[in-house]
Amino acid sequence: MKLLEGNTTIITGASRGIGSGIARVFAQHGSNIAFTFNSSSGPAKLLENELKEYGVKVKSYQSDASKFDSAQKLISNVIEDFGQINTLVNNAGITKDNLLMRMAEEDFDRVIEVNLKSVFNMTKAVQRTMLKQRSGSIINMSSVVGVKGNAGQTNYAASKAGIIGFSKSVALELGSRNIRCNVIAPGFIETEMTAKLDPTTVEQWRKGIPLKRGGTPDDIANTCVFLASDLSSYVTGQTIHVDGGMLT
């Protein structure tokens, strides 16, 4: 059963990791895909070709969601190319970890700009289209770190906590127009980035998780499908923890 047949979804930062996993699962469920990349043009083209095999319309866009004008231009281009936008997945994000006493101001500012300001930029840009449609689902990617904090990640934690407050406010503002806004807070998700970590450290992390494994991009993607589809038509303003029980 294809839950997103004929829909159009924008996914930011989808050329790799969790973003590419979301794009694949959405395409499998019949959604047309517009996704962004910042600098990874090679992986973006490979993903674009792969997704087209599912029989959906796909286009990648080089765009920096942290820049207000770039977000506005992106939405205009997607509307021109696809005609509608049903779901926005704000997935783009970076880390610049360090203890607060050693953290440079520019590292704090950049993480806030990419992780949090991008959510404002993209949501504001897509809002007019969704208001005209009187429908839409906005899915914002936070983190368990945004809920509980983490030493050495004050910038990242602040950005991801900010996403939660922002999303709750958007849900209150736009709910009367049938536009929903929800948050996913992933835990330890295993991607090509985590594959480079020390295996012993990774195994220790797995042991500390109640489900005794790291999550996969598909675990996040399946939750996104739920939030994008009519299965969640009465769900808005919520933060769903996809973390194997880490914060239980």
pLDDT tens digits, residue range 81-125?
Answer: 999 999 999 999 999 999 999 999 999 999 999 999 999 999 999
Angstrom distance (rounded) from CA 100 to CA 123: 30
In the chain, % helix, strand, coil (3-state, to 5) comes to: 50, 15, 30
Assigned token pair, 30: 């019949």
pLDDT at position 194 is 79
Q: How many residues does the chain have?
A: 248
Assigned token pair, 46: 């490979």
CATH architecture of 8-190+217-242: 3-Layer(aba) Sandwich (3.40)
Contact 9, 211 (CB under 8 A): no
- Average pLDDT of 137-161? 97
Contact 6, 30 (CB under 8 A): yes
Say whether pLDDT at 182 is over 90: yes
pLDDT at position 198 is 86
Which tens digit of pLDDT belongs to each residue from 59-91? 999 999 999 999 999 999 999 999 999 999 999
- Crossing angle for the helix pair 154-174 and 105-112, to the nearest 10 degrees: 30
Q: Dihedral through CA 204, CA 210, CA 211, CA 213, nearest 10?
A: -10
- Average pLDDT of 45-58? 97
pLDDT at position 75 is 98
pLDDT at position 216 is 96
Active-site amino acid positions: 156
What is the phi/psi pair of residue 137, to 5°? -130, 125
pLDDT at position 30 is 98
Mean pLDDT of the chain: 96
First vs last C-alpha separation in the chain: 32
Model confidence at 54, in pLDDT bands (50, 70, 90)? very high
Say whether pLDDT at 139 is over 80: yes
Say whether pLDDT at 191 is over 90: no
Say whether pLDDT at 23 is over 90: yes
Domain edges within the chain = 8-190+217-242
Of 106 and 201, the structure prediction assigns the larger pLDDT to 106
Contact 66, 114 (CB under 8 A): yes
The residue type found at 127 is: Q
Taking alpha carbons only, the member of 107, 192, 83, 179 closest to residue 137 is 179
Of 16 and 103, the structure prediction assigns the larger pLDDT to 103
pLDDT at position 12 is 97
